């Protein structure tokens, strides 16, 4: 089908800074390309539905939720006329829309529909099915339903590891990142085992970060998102080290540096008033709260106020 011909263009426009024919494309650049494609004369309904799915994902990343929903709704109206492969991506986009709004029940329903159609069309051992598993696992991560979060995200990793030749059909760096997060929240320990846990989690996130840097560039949104997750592990270690009366200064500095790096990218990509920037402020507030020394409380309050 003709919509397959634009797959490799679109896939790099999904979740970060894209590199296509030597051109550095931001979210907004990528969205403009897709919007121009939607205006192409003679564009088939199938092609249009495919492009709308990807444009909706970009709108969600840009926190333009109403625009995303309008595109998704157009596809929902024609589900009976489009292939299951495209319909499943519509459900995935709708799941991400509801996850952003914290409507967890609707997010789960649509992520499950996406997985069911992916299984029907591609089978169990396909990288596109792996990503559907990972999205459902991401939902369980957000709900902190630990057994399910680990099960679905680990299943996704197992599948992608067996299909590395087709891995670029999906943003597979997120498959590793979602599993790393599930592993962290699902294996929460204290004492010496906690150090080993965070070393393992950071190793997984670093693998994801290397992939994102290679695919999108070190200043991409996707790389920044993973850096933020890595910073969170250092924040957790800072509080733990202080509790055990261990030197936590170096750990603190690593968290602070990664938060600042990722924030700068979020600010450029999404704007200072974005939810992602607010989350960054909140995380840095927690980091300073965990130190409880000198002027750290005042700094913590300053960051927490900015997050509101």
Provide the pLDDT for residue 1: 42
**What is the C-alpha to C-alpha distance for residues 280 and 69, in angstroms, rounded to an integer?**
26
**What is the C-alpha to C-alpha distance for residues 233 and 307, in angstroms, rounded to an integer?**
20
**What's the rounded mean pLDDT across residues 144-171?**
92
Residue 151 burial by Cβ neighbours in a 10 Å radius (0-12, 13-18, 19+): middle
In the block, tokens 């979602």 appear at 178
Helix (H, G, I), strand (E, B) or coil at 126: coil
In the block, tokens 């590395």 appear at 164
Question: Residue 165 gets which letter from DSSP?
Answer: G
Please write the tens of the pLDDT for every residue from 115-145. 999 999 999 999 999 999 999 999 999 999 9
Q: How many CB atoms lie within 10 A of CB 81?
A: 12
Confidence of residue 295 (pLDDT cuts 50, 70, 90): low
Provide the pLDDT for residue 23: 35
Please write the tens of the pLDDT for every residue from 4-40. 434 333 433 443 333 333 334 577 888 899 999 999 9
The answer to whether 170 touches 130, Cβ cutoff 8 Å, is yes
Joined together, the tokens standing for residue 218 give 């070190």
In order of their start, the domains of the chain are 187-308 (1.25.40.10)
User: How many residues can be counted in the chain?
Assistant: 308
Please write the tens of the pLDDT for every residue from 200-248. 999 999 999 999 999 989 999 999 999 999 999 999 888 777 777 788 8
**What's the rounded mean pLDDT across residues 66-83?**
96
The answer to whether 184 touches 141, Cβ cutoff 8 Å, is no
Joined together, the tokens standing for residue 132 give 């559907």
Q: Give the chain's mean pLDDT.
A: 88
The answer to whether 135 touches 111, Cβ cutoff 8 Å, is yes
């Amino acid at each position: 089908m003709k919509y397959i011909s634009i797959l490799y263009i679109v896939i790099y426009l999904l979740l970060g800074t894209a590199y296509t024919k030597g051109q550095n494309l931001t979210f907004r650049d990528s969205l403009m390309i897709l919007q121009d494609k939607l205006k192409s004369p003679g564009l088939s309904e199938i092609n249009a539905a495919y492009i709308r799915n990807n444009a909706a994902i970009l709108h969600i990343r840009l926190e333009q939720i109403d625009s995303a929903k309008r595109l998704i709704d157009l596809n929902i109206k024609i589900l009976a006329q489009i292939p299951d492969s495209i319909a499943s991506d519509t459900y995935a986009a709708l799941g991400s829309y509801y996850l952003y709004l914290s409507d967890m029940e609707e997010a789960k329903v649509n992520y499950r529909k996406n997985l069911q159609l992916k299984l029907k069309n591609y089978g169990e051992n396909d990288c596109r099915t792996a990503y559907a598993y990972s999205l459902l696992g991401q939902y369980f991560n957000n709900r902190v339903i630990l057994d399910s979060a680990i099960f679905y995200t680990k299943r996704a990793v197992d599948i992608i590891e067996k299909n590395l030749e087709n891995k670029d059909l999906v943003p597979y760096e997120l498959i590793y990142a979602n599993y790393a997060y599930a592993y962290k929240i699902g294996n929460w320990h204290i004492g010496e085992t906690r150090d080993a846990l965070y070393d393992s989690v950071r190793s997984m996130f670093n693998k994801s970060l290397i992939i994102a840097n290679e695919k999108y560039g070190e200043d991409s949104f996707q790389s920044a998102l993973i850096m933020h997750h890595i910073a969170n592990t250092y924040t957790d270690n800072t509080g733990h080290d202080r509790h055990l009366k261990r030197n936590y200064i170096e750990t603190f500095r690593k968290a602070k540096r990664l938060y600042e790096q990722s924030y700068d990218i979020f600010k450029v990509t999404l704007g200072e008033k974005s939810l992602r920037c607010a989350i960054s402020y909140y995380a840095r507030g927690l980091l300073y709260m965990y130190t409880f020394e000198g002027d750290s409380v005042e700094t913590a309050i300053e960051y927490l106020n900015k997050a509101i």
